[in-house]
């Protein structure tokens, strides 16, 4: 959905994007890393036709997550 802007469930191309954000007290669409670090923002892609949604991290956000201690396998 992020790259092709086509819903994998219903095939619609009516996709909206809700940008990740961070608000007070950890609210918003993000992953808190703790301390004074900037949170990792999570963007949501939503199909307006059927309601299917996906969450994606931007590449620069992946780098922040990879450097944190919350990253494990």
Average pLDDT over residues 25-47: 86
**For the residues 14-31, what does the mean pLDDT come to?**
90
27 band by pLDDT with thresholds 50, 70 and 90 = confident
* Residue 23 CB partners (closer than 8 Å, separation 6+): none
Of 70 and 11, the structure prediction assigns the larger pLDDT to 11
Report the candidate in 18, 22, 55 with the shortest Cα–Cα distance to residue 37.
22
Confidence (pLDDT) at 36: 65
Q: What is the pTM of this model?
A: 0.81
């Amino acid at each position: 959905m992020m790259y092709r802007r086509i819903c994998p469930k219903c095939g619609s191309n009516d996709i909206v994007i809700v940008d990740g954000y961070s608000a007070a007290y950890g609210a918003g669409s993000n992953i808190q890393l703790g301390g004074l670090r900037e949170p990792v923002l999570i963007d949501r892609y939503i199909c307006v036709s059927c309601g299917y949604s996906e969450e994606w991290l931007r590449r620069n956000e992946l780098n922040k997550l990879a450097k944190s201690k919350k990253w494990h396998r």
